[in-house]
């Protein structure tokens, strides 16, 4: 996937999420990342509870190992993530009734982590999943259960972007969100519409946001139909018309345990069509999958959801880390 990237008419990163354990212990895994990808996203190691497990204790070793691996192999790093409602350690939740303390922790966290990686990380998911799933009527559709929102309201987003931009003005700063692939401007509760209106408010307040990352976790088989590539193309254009960049940040296509030849072909065609959508928009900066091999889907969030191993089979390499039809389909698009 990587070897053809320099032949593209414009640079686009082809990336994957990586976990530190297989990266250090599984040579085929490490070799595949190094040879096939030009960008990595740490799957978990930069999340709050892992990188900042105790007050005033930052645990950078795992995330540093990924960043060092990337540097050695001339791979860019997409930082994930600074402000999320999940992966919050107990010591932070315990202070939920003290907004001033939560705000101070939030600022210290963002300043410390982005200063540590300044110049080593070219782009950040500054805010992850700020939009609610249901009952959009409250909080302008934003996720009110987030401790950051509870303490600061919507302003937590402004604070986060401004802090990161001041520390590392060269970094490209994103909001990363799922379930926002299809914009319906006629429906105020449409998750993407909520995001779109949020972005317009941020721009009005001159918040330094540079892009929107679309997770594109999709499902196929068992009667599930993924979003159409055309819908994603239209949505991306709406955001790039606002002067923003876009990217596909966490694609996977779960087959829900059914792995038939026709389904694998459909999965491949779908991967190819989504990559084509990104490549057709001159402001789409990258295409990343959430992991690359079904071998470690047991580490992946899809399996964690059900406790079943190999539930998803949603990635371009199989359980033996050999390329699937999806891999060749992606390659043919590059």
Q: Is 86 a catalytic residue?
A: no
Question: Which of 20, 43, 132, 293 contacts ligand XIL by CB under 6 A?
Answer: 43
Smallest separation (angstroms) from ligand XIL to the CB of 44: 5
Smallest separation (angstroms) from ligand XIL to the CB of 128: 5
Smallest separation (angstroms) from ligand XIL to the CB of 43: 5
Nearer to ligand XIL, 44 or 267 (CB): 44
- Selecting among 43, 62, 123, 129, the annotated active-site residue is 129
- Residue with the CB atom nearest ligand XIL in the bound state: 301
Residue 300 makes contact with ligand XIL by CB under 6 A: yes
Q: Which of 18, 73, 15 is nearest to 251 (CA)?
A: 15
Q: Which of 237, 207, 81 is nearest to 146 (CA)?
A: 81
Looking at 57-65, 186-194, 273-281, 294-302, which segment touches ligand XIL (CB under 6 A)?
A: 294-302
Residue 254 makes contact with ligand XIL by CB under 6 A: no
Nearer to ligand XIL, 130 or 221 (CB): 130
- Selecting among 43, 123, 181, 250, the annotated active-site residue is 250
Nearer to ligand XIL, 44 or 285 (CB): 44
Looking at 20-28, 154-162, 277-285, 293-301, which segment touches ligand XIL (CB under 6 A)?
A: 293-301
Nearer to ligand XIL, 58 or 301 (CB): 301
How far is Cα 12 from Cα 16, in angstroms, rounded to an integer?
A: 13
Q: Which of 125, 113, 115 is nearest to 39 (CA)?
A: 125
Residue 114 structure tokens: 């982005």
Question: Which of 58, 91, 301, 328 contacts ligand XIL by CB under 6 A?
Answer: 301
- DSSP letters, 90-104, are HHHHTTTT-HHHHHH
**Class of residue 328 by CB neighbours under 10 A (exposed 0-12, middle 13-18, buried 19+):** middle
Helix boundaries (H) for 37-82: 48-51, 61-72
Whether residue 276 contacts residue 270, with contact meaning beta carbons closer than 8 Å, is answered with no
Whether residue 35 contacts residue 27, with contact meaning beta carbons closer than 8 Å, is answered with no
How far is Cα 270 from Cα 253, in angstroms, rounded to an integer?
A: 8
Residue 304 makes contact with ligand XIL by CB under 6 A: yes
Residue 50 makes contact with ligand XIL by CB under 6 A: no
Nearer to ligand XIL, 176 or 329 (CB): 176
Residue 128 makes contact with ligand XIL by CB under 6 A: yes
How far is Cα 29 from Cα 96, in angstroms, rounded to an integer?
A: 40
CA dist 213 → 111, 250, 309 (Å): 22, 9, 28
Nearer to ligand XIL, 78 or 266 (CB): 78
Q: Which residues pair with 317 in a beta bridge?
A: 293, 323
Whether residue 19 contacts residue 43, with contact meaning beta carbons closer than 8 Å, is answered with yes
Looking at 30-38, 146-154, 252-260, 296-304, which segment touches ligand XIL (CB under 6 A)?
A: 296-304
Smallest separation (angstroms) from ligand XIL to the CB of 3: 27
Q: Which of 72, 97, 118, 36 is nearest to 287 (CA)?
A: 36
Q: Is 250 a catalytic residue?
A: yes
Q: Which residues bind ligand XIL (CB under 6 A)?
A: 43-44, 128, 176, 178, 215, 250, 299-301, 304
- Could you give the residue numbers annotated as active site? 129, 250
């Amino acid at each position: 996937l990587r070897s053809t990237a320099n032949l593209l008419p414009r640079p686009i990163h082809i990336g994957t999420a990586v976990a530190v354990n297989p990266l250090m212990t599984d040579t085929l895994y490490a070799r595949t990342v190094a040879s096939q990808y030009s960008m990595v996203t740490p799957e978990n190691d930069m999340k709050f509870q892992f990188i900042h497990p105790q007050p005033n204790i930052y645990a950078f070793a795992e995330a540093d190992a990924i960043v060092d691996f990337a540097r050695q192999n001339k791979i860019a790093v997409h930082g994930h993530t600074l402000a999320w409602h999940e992966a919050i350690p107990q010591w932070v939740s315990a202070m939920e009734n003290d907004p001033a303390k939560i705000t101070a922790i939030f600022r210290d966290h963002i300043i410390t982590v982005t200063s540590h990686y300044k110049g080593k990380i070219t782009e950040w998911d500054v805010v992850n999943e700020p939009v609610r799933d249901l009952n959009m009527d409250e909080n302008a559709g934003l996720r009110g259960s987030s401790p950051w929102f509870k303490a600061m309201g919507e302003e937590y987003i402004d604070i986060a972007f401004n802090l990161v931009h001041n520390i590392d003005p060269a970094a490209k700063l994103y909001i990363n969100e799922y379930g926002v692939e299809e914009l319906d401007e006629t429906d105020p509760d449409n998750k993407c519409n909520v995001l779109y209106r949020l972005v317009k408010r941020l721009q009005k307040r001159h918040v330094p946001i540079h892009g929107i990352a679309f997770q594109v976790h999709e499902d196929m088989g068992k009667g599930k139909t993924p979003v159409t590539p055309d819908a994603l193309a239209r949505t991306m254009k709406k955001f790039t018309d606002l002067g923003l960049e876009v990217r596909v940040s966490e694609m996977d296509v779960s087959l829900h345990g059914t792995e038939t030849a026709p389904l694998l072909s459909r999965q491949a065609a779908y991967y190819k069509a989504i990559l084509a959508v990104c490549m057709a928009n001159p402001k789409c900066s990258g295409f990343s999958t959430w992991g690359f091999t079904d071998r470690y889907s047991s580490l992946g969030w899809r399996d964690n959801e059900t406790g079943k191993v190999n539930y998803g089979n949603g990635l371009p390499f199989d359980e033996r880390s050999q390329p699937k039809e999806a891999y060749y389909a992606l390659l043919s698009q590059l």
